[in-house]
Amino acid sequence: MAITGIYSITYATDDLAAGIRFHEQLGLTLVRSSADAADFELPDGSAVLLRTPEHAELPLPYGQDVSGVREVCWAVDNERSLAQLADGLSRDRTVHRYGQTECTFFDDAGLSVRLRVASFRPLPAEPDPTNAPGRVERLNQLRRWFDRARPLQMQHVVFSSPQPRAAARFYVERLGFRISDIQEEGGVFLRAPGNVQHHNLYWQRGDAKAFRHVSYGVTNLDALMAGAAFMSRQGVKSRQGLGRHRISSTFFYYMPNPCGGDAEYSTDSDCINDDWKPRVWGRVFGHIWWLAQGREQEPEERMRLATEEDLKLT
């Protein structure tokens, strides 16, 4: 199984106070802070770490931006898996080991990566009965009301690269990630081998190396929109508003993050396993199914099963 999901992300930010305020508004729990650092925790035990650019523990930036995510830490299921991964990586790069439970290195794209033996806390599985014409699942019962969103886990992180296939190939060949789907001229969606979310990492095509966003999974669409309304009242506005991706089926709501990139509320993503057959999607067709603000023209439908040649990521 080995890698099971995102355990922490580390931001560099030149406005720590704004970063703390934003993540508290977003619904994360602040567990400690100091003059140059702040740590937030999610219910599954994962963490968002904010650091000032001068902080001694920060690795080098990915790309030219000083702000943004500097490091992604992936949870690994046990010490044996970590040792196997670290030994393999040591063949062609420097790997710093911290006892038997942690190591760091740079991937082929130049992003700092940390592997840590860790397990996630179980999340409560609450029923979400939904009524529809001809189907009554909730009788004499109000729906649960939300006053704001409370993210439960980090579902995926996105980076851009001029060579997204090469960046993704490293994770497939060296860390055991699975290809979920491919977006023509767009990028590659990857799933950690011990996770069932459609993707945990997306390498997006871009003119330069840059951090794009982190997706925070919330309970349902009601929680997402309650969070969107709350953030809007705090002055945090979305450029796109509510939408749904065709690739992964995820409801999304992106908001600019003062620490860099965007934060995304997401819910109802597809879940897949190794029986899934990756698709190749047209870039425009696969990106967005619908937006609340609407689109003037529906893109041409383009989607097919990936071939062996597609999956080589050459």
The pLDDT > 70 percentage for the chain reads: 100
Give the confidence band of 126 by pLDDT, cuts at 50, 70, 90. Answer: confident
Residues near 191 by Cβ (< 8 Å), separated by ≥ 6? Answer: 177, 178, 179, 180, 197, 198, 199, 200, 272
pLDDT in tens, 78-124: 999 999 999 999 999 999 999 999 999 999 999 999 999 999 999 98
Count of C-beta atoms within a 10 Å radius of residue 192:
25
Return the CATH number of the domain spanning residue range 3-121+150-311. 3.10.180.10
C-alpha to C-alpha distances, 146 to 139, 151, 227, 264, nearest whole angstrom: 20, 12, 8, 18
Q: Give the pLDDT score at 212.
A: 97
CA distance 154 to 48: 9
Taking the CB of residue 211, how many other CB atoms lie within 10 A of it?
27
* pTM exceeds 0.85: yes
Residue 285 in contact with residue 295, Cβ under 8 Å? no
What's the burial of 306, exposed, middle or buried (CB within 10 Å: 0-12/13-18/19+)? middle
The 10s digit of each residue's pLDDT in 30-52 is 999 999 999 999 999 999 999 99
Instruction: Tell me the average pLDDT across 21-32.
Output: 98
Residue ranges of the domains in the chain? 3-121+150-311
Residue 192, both tokens: 């950690």
Whole-angstrom Cα distance, residue 67 to residue 260? 5
